Structures are given as structure tokens and as C-alpha cells.
Structure 1
Amino acid sequence: MSRVFITGSADGLGQMAAELLVAQGHRVVLHARNEKRAGDAMRAVPGAEAVVSGDLSSMDATRDVAEQVNRLGRFDAVIHNAGVGYRESRRIETIDGLPHVFTINTIAPYILTALIEKPERLVYLGSGMHEGGDPGLDDLLWKQRRWQGASAYSDSKLHDLWLAFGVARRWPGVLSNAVHPGWVPTRMGGAGAPDDMKAAPRTQAWLAVSDDPAASVTGEYFFHMKPRKPSVAASDERLQDGLIAACERLTGIRLPN
């Protein structure tokens, strides 16, 4: 039996992964944006152990989420599921003055990775759209480019792969992988998304807890429980290290060795 923390598990794929893991007998801690949604999450997944709350669009609130998780004790796995989509029509800034999409999809998983006590496994939710992400590191905050929501989302999903693979290299004792759940009809994906909703959460749950040798790997990218080759940019170690260095500068938080 494993103990798993899942960000963004008040609904959508995070909630579905939580339900799968609870049904398998694992201990699961949920995460929600605020106290109201936290209560809703516990009612939706009644077998969950606990829930923590905090808005991942704020760096201070994200630090607090990490502190809440650490107070609960060590986890075997963390699934970085929380994210926002590509429908923002303008560059929305957070309380920290950073783009909303970048903060939640890139900065939040970085902060939580750096501050939560190292688990045995890390799973990051990527997307096939990472292949269209900008491999440059000189305009992460969209100050020079004209805003495009879909491009900002693609960038952030490339960042998630950089983070997963960079952590895999830096922390050889931790299994760190990324997942493409498919284009599924969640609130983010839209009602017309064509992929299998039931299959979407299985890979992250499998990578978090399975003893299957195929799941006991690190630095890999998966789609429906099968390895998939990521973009060339995603595998570039210089870019992985560059993103981590940029996140360190922006947050003031160093990723431990």
C-alpha cells in the first residue's frame, strides 16, 4: 500500500486518479484550491485520507500547500496533476506578477517538488501539445511576445517535461516521469475532445504505485501506460537545467541536490 498526494484532485483527472488509487487500497491525500472545494473533494472521494487546500496561482499559497503536506508525513508518490488550459484570451497576471498559466502549470509544480519531502516517485502531467512549446528560455513570462493562450499552454507543458526529466537526472533515487493523458473531455479539454476519459487517469496512478517493472523507470514520457518519445527539445539537458535555474531565480527556492 502506497501513500500518494495528488494536486488538483477536487475534480477532473486528479479526482479520477484518486478514486482509482483509493479503490486499490492506497492512502490518498487530495488537494483543492480553497476550503469549499476541499470539502467537496472529500465528499467526492470519501475514502481519501485527508485534503490540503491552497491556490497554486500564488507562490506563497503554494509554499503553504507544501508545508501542509509535509506536516502530514512522508509520501511514497506525488502526482503533479493541477493545471489550467489554453483558453485564456489575454495575459492574466497573478498576485506575483507572473502569467497565470505559467504560474500554475510551471512554477507551482517546481515549488512543490523543491519543498515537499522527497517521495519515491514523482509524476508530472504533460500533454501532446508540448511538441509545439517554445524551446527558448528568454521570454518565459510573455513580456516580449504577443499573448496566445494555446502557445502559453504548450510552453508550460514542455516545461513540465523539462522538470520531470531534470529531476530524474538530479535525483537518481526518485522515479520521476511525465504523462500525456490524452485529449479528453474534461472542463479543460472541452466537450468535443476525442480520447477515452476512463483511460486518461490510469497511467499516472500506475506510475505512482505499480510494482510493474515497466512503471519502475525514470526520466520517461508515457501515453496510456506505454512509453512515448517526447520532442527533441524536451530531452535537451541544457534546456532542462535552464528552466530549473529560471524557476530558482523567480521563486527564490533552490531545488535540493
Structure 2
Amino acid sequence: MSADTPEPGRRTVVVTGASAGLGYHAAEQLAAQGHRVVLATRNPDRGGAAERSIRKHVDDADLVHLHLDLADLGSVREAASELPGLGPVHALLNNAGVVGSARPQRTAQGFELQVGTNHLGHFAWTALALPALDQDTGRVVHLGSIAHRFATLDRTDPLAVGRYEGHRQYSRSKLAVMLFGFELAQRLGDAGSRIRSVVAHPGLALDAAAPPRPDVAPTRSEPAWMRAGSGWVAQGKDAGAWPLVHAAVGDGVRSGEYWGPGGPLQFAGSPTLVPARPRAHDRTVAARLWTASERVTGVTFALDALG
């Protein structure tokens, strides 16, 4: 695939976790709009299946593969080193994520898997990838969640080292993602950078309610009660991807904004600006989370060099 600069109006968007679920549908929608899409995936076979599926639905899709395992900081560094070879990158759509099980799992560096992938992996990826972003039009889109409403972070231990409480850990990881996204917007602005940091969430989005893509594996099975209610309280993951795509390439998007579905409880609907809980904007917690994240990943942000 050519790494030449896209035509005017077209953008290059790197989508993490593009092989399934929200990431897949976001990648397909971006390709349908004529953008070049970098499919940043952990599993080459699933990445290849996603590419074939997109090409079935989008003529002349411009797709590039990038191997990226967010649960391994070595892979994160290697993937970031390849970005300059793709030409100007206009957006990082940080979508990939995992939901844990009853027993804790670990990343390659020993972090709890959900925090290690959803937050720390993307934290390091963003820091290392920022220099490759177009400095005038670049965007970083962070995948938030309505689950942040049910989470808090300990001000003295924002990464919850040594603690594991099943699905509560997922909510914490998503609150961390949002704190990071809003804090990055503040710090980019303070540094005089024109790069935008935006948070978006999909609402209550289900694989079962999305158009069938038989070549692409669902991200996870959904309970029967969710599938039964998908017609009135939820939406497909294709619709759930709309706020992400809008945040990445839509007009009128400003740094520090939060986009999500406009329906009741933000479960479904067209993309619109939505409120986040105040805890997602707590700059004291965000600063401590930032410091802790830099310490454990060994990655720092050189924001002054971007201005």
C-alpha cells in the first residue's frame, strides 16, 4: 500500500483494535468516506479478515496494516517507530480495549490487563505517536465509556496497583482513559499545540444489533437481555462507532470535547456533545494518574516540542 500523502480532504487515521467490534465498524466507515485507514491490530489473521471484509463493502478501500499489541510496551514502541513511514497521520483513534474476567490477567510488563491495555498501552502509544501526527490538524480520539459513571480512582494510587475487582476494574480503566484524554487536551493547549485531544463513547453498543460481518469475529458474546432490548435501548456497534468517527474526522470538533449518542442516558442515537461526570475532569487526579503512568511505562510526553 502506498504511503503517499492522501488527496485533499482525505486523512490517514490509525485505528487500534480495528479487527472487531467498534474498531472494525469505525475502520469500515472511515474507508467508505475515502480516508486511508491504518488497521492497528494484535492478531495478523484477524487483521487480514477485517481487511477482506472491508474490501467486500468498500470499493477501492485504502488500507494499511500495522502490528500493535497494546499489552506489550515493546510492541507499542516498535509500532510507533513505523508511523513516520506512512506519511502524515491525521488522527489516532484509540479504540482497542479488553474486558477482564473473574481472575486477573497480566500484560507483558506485568500490569493488570485492563488498565495495562485500555489506559497504559494507549498512554504510551499516544506519547510515542504524537510526533508523527500532522501538527496543524492532528487529533487523538480516546474511547470513553458510560461505565466511567460507576468508577472512582484512588488519589494516592490512581492505577490501583495490587487491586482487582473484576468488572469494576474495567470501569476504572475507562475513567483513567477519560481523565487522560481531557488532561491531554489541557496540556496540548497550554503548550501551544494545535493537535486536538477528544473523548468519545459508543453508548450501549452491541454486536448482535450491527449489520452482519461473518468474516469478523464479535468482540464478545452478549447476554440475552441485552439482545432483546437492542431495538429500543441500545444500538449496533456500527452506530456506536459514529461518535468515534465524528471525533476523528468530523467538522467542528474541538479539543477537550466529549462526544456520544444523543438519546436517553446516552445509550443510543446520533453523535452529539454529551456531559461526562465531574470525576472525569478532576485535574488533581489526572495529574497524579499522568505522573504514575509515565513512571511505570517509562514513556514521557514532549509536548513543548509540538507547539
Normalised TM-score (structure 2): 0.77
Tell me, in whole angstroms, the C-alpha distance in 1 between the residues paired with 2:220 and 2:158.
22
> What is the deviation of 1:140?
4.4
Q: Which of the numbers 68, 78, 95 marks the counterpart of 2:108? A: 95
Partner of 1:75, secondary structure, is coil
1:51-85 deviation per Cα after TM superposition (whole angstroms, max 9, x unaligned): 11132111111111212223322211110000012
> What is the deviation of 1:34?
2.5
Most deviating of 50-59 and 65-74: 65-74
1:174 matched to 2:195:
yes
Q: 1:138 aligns to what?
A: 156
Most deviating of 153-162 and 174-183: 174-183
CA pair 188-33 structure 1, distance change in 2 beyond 3 A: same
Q: CA RMSD in A?
A: 1.7
> What is the deviation of 1:238?
1.6
Tell me, in whole angstroms, the C-alpha distance in 2 between the residues paired with 1:48 and 1:108.
26
Tell me, in whole angstroms, the C-alpha distance in 2 between the residues paired with 1:49 and 1:115.
22
1:23 matched to 2:32:
yes
Q: Count the aligned residue pairs.
A: 252
Tell me, in whole angstroms, the C-alpha distance in 2 between the residues paired with 1:30 and 1:209.
16
Tell me, in whole angstroms, the C-alpha distance in 1 between the residues paired with 2:158 and 2:184.
20
1:50 matched to 2:64:
yes
Q: Which of the numbers 109, 122, 125 marks the counterpart of 2:143? A: 125
Partner of 2:206, secondary structure, is coil
CA contact (8 A) 2:154 2:160 kept: no
Q: 1:74 aligns to what?
A: 88
Q: 1:236 aligns to what?
A: 282
CA pair 144-29 structure 1, distance change in 2 beyond 3 A: closer
1:222 matched to 2:295:
no
Tell me, in whole angstroms, the C-alpha distance in 1 between the residues paired with 2:240 and 2:108.
32
1:157 matched to 2:178:
no
1:183 matched to 2:183:
no
Most deviating of 136-145 and 3-12: 136-145
CA pair 103-144 structure 1, distance change in 2 beyond 3 A: closer
CA contact (8 A) 2:41 2:66 kept: yes
CA pair 207-141 structure 1, distance change in 2 beyond 3 A: closer
CA contact (8 A) 1:99 1:141 kept: no
Percent identity of paired positions between Structure 1 and Structure 2: 31
Tell me, in whole angstroms, the C-alpha distance in 1 between the residues paired with 2:22 and 2:114.
18
Tell me, in whole angstroms, the C-alpha distance in 1 between the residues paired with 2:161 and 2:249.
40
Tell me, in whole angstroms, the C-alpha distance in 1 between the residues paired with 2:88 and 2:241.
23
Q: Which of the numbers 118, 122, 138 marks the counterpart of 1:109? A: 122
1:197-227 deviation per Cα after TM superposition (whole angstroms, max 9, x unaligned): 132011111111122x2xx211121212211
Q: 2:98 aligns to what?
A: 84
CA contact (8 A) 1:8 1:14 kept: yes
Q: Which of the numbers 234, 243, 246 marks the counterpart of 1:203? A: 243
Partner of 2:296, secondary structure, is helix
Bigger Rg over Cα: 2
Please, which runs of 5 or more residues in structure 1 have no aligned partner? Answer: none
Please, which runs of 5 or more residues in structure 2 have no aligned partner? Answer: 1-9, 56-60, 208-218, 262-270
CA contact (8 A) 2:198 2:258 kept: yes
Q: Which of the numbers 33, 39, 50 marks the counterpart of 2:42? A: 33
Normalised TM-score (structure 1): 0.92
